[in-house]
Amino acid sequence: MFRDRRTGRITIAQVPNVALWTFFVTVVVRWVLSPHGVVRTAVDAVAEAALAAWAVDEVLRGVNPWRRLLGLGGCGFVVVGVMSLVR
């Protein structure tokens, strides 16, 4: 479950890539600045897109089943987040 299919080493977490860092930055912006209106919508859209990019990448190219499951969980968060933007 946790073995890297290329190296055979245990991999639970990795250094975040650009998409995940972008998501983290948007979370901090929402928390610290509490934007409203169009700015909030734009920040939310960037957050959802970044998380979706990371999640799909993990599902397709994750180094082990654990990382692919994390990506699948990220996809679930994206679906919930997009549904909250739509309503």
Q: Pick the residue with more confidence: 57 or 5? A: 57
Nearest CA to 74 among 23, 1, 5?
23
Residue 87 has pLDDT above 80, yes or no: no
**pTM for the full predicted model:** 0.88
Cα angle 13, 15, 80 (rounded to 5 degrees) comes to: 70
The pLDDT of residue 21: 97
Over residues 13-72, the pLDDT tens digits come to 888 899 999 999 999 999 999 999 999 989 999 999 999 999 999 999 999 999 999 999
Kindly list the domain boundaries of the chain, sorted by start residue.
34-86
